[in-house]
Structure 1
């Protein structure tokens, strides 16, 4: 029988990229959903005969349950996840259906991970935080950790050009990440961090070169310390062109907190930002760069391992990240009942195989360390 995949929020840029990747690499029949029938049908027509459309509002629990019952795999792409609970995951567990999502907000990640024992009992494999970052970036960290005998410090840097080829949801997520201080593990102690603070200039691969990144609240800030025995985890994010960084810094540090925490204000800022990137995208591109640096000890000596990735379309890269795990689940090559962040579940050898099959190359090097 043909595998059935349900992609919630599949009309959006990220969801449709996931659908395209699965259609390219599997024979599965894919159903994408949206609350807007005309727009959803237009996207499904563009994606080809493997993809069909279902008008669905996640608030319609009965219709959602029926849709999940007819599928082998559910992929949740209907963000922003700041506003979501884990009800879709709960329904999947109740019906014994495997689950993936592209969530990127720590509050949602914590809600989802709380269902791990139920998923394990039901034999359901559920992976959260798939995509590009978090997602591929987490597996890059795992790959680096496995090179060392004693990993101590993880430094993740993300850079996105313009809109990244994504829609309004990603813009909303950026401003939602500025609302509150968050905790990060530094030198073995959890410390409060102000979002978009402590600018650091990082050397990325061409075409980016040196670019500024800032502290940003990501699920990796707590899933990586839960997974690996490290003392420090740094997660930083930046934009290209650089003036977007300065505008975001102003929003984080000069705007009244009540303004940035207001849902209508976030929507306004997201829409204005998206209009601005429509102007700059032709010059900046819509790509992404990731730099993962893991330092510690190997054979008793200080050592560091650095992995970098560049892709010319952030949304497509995210589709590759989620689609690759979907492919492994559908083909029966990967199974791990429970709810996991990607780095906790996906073996490095499978991660590397899926990147190769999608033409994505990682540049890796050992870093010189001084005792």
Structure 2
């Protein structure tokens, strides 16, 4: 397999490339980046399997030509509301498979509309195969599969787990994405229809085996794609889990952009400063969290009774955003699904297969059966407690506030 990693010198691109470079099925790995020097440095680190290429992804002709040299294109160039649709269009023109970590709902919807083009070209494109979206979607699929009938789905992720590997006073693509999502109406499913509402709406989540916790609605693709995969869903939101002292400045920045007090660029610069004063330890960052770091909760009916099933990630590929996103991306790339069209992760990956393949790249080399912690509102408190206790050491540390020595 010949793999092209766009944005391969960035944090997420490097995390994915390291795993791909070590995979026996990868015969060539092209590290492509706007900075030729950065791409060359990453390729040198990865050994003879890797080569460097300079690319401006806005150069459509050059991008098509470069894509044709590989079998699959891995796109980590963000923010996706600027670059996602154009890159996918070029890859479809090149006739090559595609996978990304798109975390913006608007370009996700736009790229899903390219489905027929991809089918005609024989191209399989997978959107949003990171942590959230990505792992969260597969947790949702597993939760939904435990119900006879699903009515609502909530996906959630801890905002303070999205730690950069290197702190910077300059806004990253992730921060630019975040400002976009807190300053514009976000898509959610209410009453069986997709609507747009103000972001950061406080949401109480009654999680089986844990109890109530607070999340804040955030603009991610999960409500767009899960409603497409499961059209019977009546309610669907994605939430960020974070303390109020984190949400408050985000809400203020979003409001400032909406009323024209700040430009999006200026708000992103301010957010980069705020990020630098937040807790730098992912463990310390979860002190005020009552919910798992990454989860999906599906409610509906089971055996004729009301039921809620929670699926939480029990093992983690790392404690930075780059690892949590780039490693699942690489695993999805190696699974290499053959299903022409444009799809979200839950439509092409079986959760059991994906989590089995992810397990060797998680902290402590865990058993595959410990990857997902499942709890059910119909189970007794003792059974739910046992399920939670069977989770990972990392989850135990995060949930119990224990600090490693």
Q: What TM-score comes out, normalization by structure 2 length? A: 0.80
Q: Which runs of 4+ in 1 moved over 6 A?
A: 201-206, 285-288
Pair 27,205 (structure 1): closer, same or farther in 2 beyond 3 Å: farther
Q: CA deviation at 1:212?
A: 4.3
1:137 is matched with: 136
Partner of 1:269: 270
**Aligned position for 2:201:** 197
Deviation at 1:85, TM superposition (A): 4.9
Which of 3, 6, 13 is equivalent to 2:4? 6
Query: Is 1:327 paired with 2:334?
Result: yes
Native 8 Å contact 2:105 2:187 kept in 1: no
2:374 is the alignment partner of 1:364:
yes
Gaps in structure 1 of 5+ consecutive residues: none
- 3-state DSSP class of the match of 1:258? coil
Q: Which residue of 2 aligns with 1:75?
A: 74
Over residues 314-350 of structure 1, what are the superposed CA-to-partner deviations in whole Å (9 max), with x where a residue is unaligned? 3212112111111011xxxx31110011112222342
Match of 2:215 in 1: 213
Structure 1 CA distance for aligned equivalents of residues 101 and 152 of structure 2: 25
The counterpart of 2:343, out of the listed 340, 358, 361, is 340
Q: What TM-score, normalized by structure 1, do the two folds share?
A: 0.87
Contact 1:74 1:99 in 2 (8 A): yes
Residue-pair matches, total = 358
CA distances 1:62-88 after superposition (whole Å, capped 9, x unpaired): 322221111000011100012125222
Q: Equivalents in 1 of 2:162, 2:351: separation in Å?
A: 30
Identify which range, 249-258 or 138-147, moves more after superposition. 249-258
**Over aligned residues, Cα RMSD in angstroms?**
2.8
For residues 112-155 of structure 1, the C-alpha deviation after alignment (integer angstroms, 9 at most, x for no partner) is: 11111111122111001111100011011011111111011111
Q: Unmatched 5+ residue regions in structure 2?
A: 167-171, 287-291, 381-405
In structure 1, the residue matched to 2:356 is 353
Partners of 2:256 and 2:175 in 1: CA distance? 19
Which residues of 2 match residues 178-327 of structure 1 at below 5 A?
178-200=182-204, 212-228=214-230, 229-239=232-242, 243-253=245-255, 256-259=258-261, 262-277=263-278, 280-282=279-281, 289-309=293-313, 311=316, 312-327=319-334
1:201 and 1:189, CA in 2 relative to 1: closer, same or farther beyond 3 A?
closer
> How far did residue 307 of structure 1 move?
0.8
1:266–1:291 CA distance, 2 compared to 1 (3 A): same
Deviation digits for residues 287-328 of structure 1 (CA, Å, limit 9, x no counterpart): 992121111112212222111125323321211211111101
Q: What SS is found at the alignment partner of 1:185?
A: strand
> Is the Cα contact below 8 Å between 1:163 and 1:281 reproduced in 2?
no
Question: Partners in 2 of 1:163 and 1:173 — Cα distance?
Answer: 13
Contact 2:80 2:107 in 1 (8 A): yes
Q: Mark the CA change 1:270 to 1:49 in structure 2 (over 3 Å): closer, same or farther.
A: farther
Q: 19-28 or 103-112: which moved more?
A: 19-28
- Equivalent residue for 1:62? 61
